[in-house]
C-alpha cells in the first residue's frame, strides 16, 4: 500500500504540472470539472490543490497512517490506473508538442 501511495503522490503532482502547462498554453482542456473550476478561479489555486493533495498523501506515509482496508486498496488501485491512463494521454499531446516545436 505504501508504494501505491508514493505512486499516487508523484503522479498527482506530475499530472498537475503537465496539466498546468497544457492549459496555460492552450494545448488541452481540463476534463475534471472540479479542477477546471479551480483553474478558472486562478491557476495557482489549481496547482496549489495538487500540491496540497500530494503533501497530504506523503504526510500519511510519514506518520504511518495508510489505510489498509480492502476498499481503500481498491480505490487507490483504480485511481492509480486512472492516473496512468491520464499520463499516457499527456504523453501523446506532449510528444506532438515536442515534435512540432
Residue 25 has pLDDT above 90, yes or no: no
Q: What is the pLDDT of residue 35?
A: 95
Q: pLDDT digits over 34-93, tens only?
A: 999 999 999 999 999 999 999 999 999 899 888 888 998 999 999 999 999 999 999 988
Q: Tell me the mean pLDDT in the region 9-24.
A: 94
Higher pLDDT, 2 or 14: 14
Q: Tell me the mean pLDDT in the region 4-32.
A: 93
Q: How many CB atoms lie within 10 A of CB 12?
A: 19
- The domain locations on the chain are 2-100
Answer positive or negative: Cα dihedral of 60, 64, 69, 70. Answer: positive
Amino acid at each position: 500500500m505504501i508504494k501505491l501511495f508514493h505512486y499516487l503522490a508523484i503522479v498527482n503532482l506530475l499530472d498537475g504540472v503537465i496539466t498546468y502547462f497544457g492549459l496555460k498554453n492552450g494545448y488541452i482542456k481540463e476534463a475534471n470539472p472540479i479542477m477546471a473550476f479551480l483553474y478558472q478561479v486562478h491557476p495557482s489555486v489549481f496547482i496549489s490543490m495538487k500540491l496540497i493533495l500530494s503533501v497530504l498523501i506523503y504526510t500519511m506515509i510519514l506518520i504511518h497512517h495508510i489505510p489498509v482496508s480492502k476498499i481503500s486498496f481498491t480505490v487507490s488501485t483504480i485511481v492509480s490506473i486512472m492516473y496512468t491512463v491520464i499520463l499516457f494521454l499527456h504523453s501523446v499531446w506532449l510528444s506532438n508538442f515536442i515534435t512540432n516545436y
